[in-house]
Structure 1
Amino acid sequence: MSVNQLIELMAALLILFGAVVSVISAFGMIRLPDVYTRSHAATKSATLSVLSCLVGAFIYFWIHDGYVSIRLILGIVFVFITAPISGHLICRAAYRSRVPLAKGSGEDALKPVLFGNDESENEMK
């Protein structure tokens, strides 16, 4: 195998890795219990999957065709900047709208701080 074929194989593996992480992210969106954990699945793993697919495509076109795609570079930068910000804003909007946490997370020590429960404030005194 030549060096170009190895690099093309690496690019294909990056794209395959991105596809697998994207499927895992989709399962996380379906299976996770509340908006906070779903936001995590949507932003963190989806960002990783899209970035690895775009990097794989960039490497493939660079090695195979000798073409440096500015569109792919801009896509990588755009996704890298906007996805974490959107996840943060979704969680912030849910927090300000007082969306409840999932059942079973009620024992969380930060719940009184987040939601201002009067009973737990009395217990703390």
Structure 2
Amino acid sequence: MVDQTAHQLFSYGTLQLPEVQLARFGRLLEGRSDALPGFRLTCVTITDPEVIAASGSDRHPLVVASPQGADAVPGSVFAITDAELAAADDYEVDDYARTEVVLRSGARAWAYLAARPEEGAAR
């Protein structure tokens, strides 16, 4: 059997929720704990009805760069396929931009960060 998991995805928010995983990927993902150093959590209000229905909320976490070097955002890393990465891209609204990051463990992963970091810094 060929391993189809080509990507590592770091989630600190709603992609960790079982109901979102089932709606987006058709399966529950197995993750491992990690953290994104140099960032802090803020929130964004979502207006996309499909995203709100999947997550159950219009308030979603969003990470922005932190001026405090010791800050880190905890989350989970999931091994996902090309199709699942495309489904995650489709789920995330324009407030997020997929970016490659280096996690506390040293692993590289995709993460959805603030698309306009200057806006998140003021929240």
Above 0.5 in TM-score? Answer: no
| Higher RCO by CA contacts (8 Å cutoff, separation 6 or greater) | 2
TM-score scaled to structure 1, two decimals?
0.25
Which structure has the greater CA radius of gyration? 1
Higher strand share: 2
Higher helix share: 1
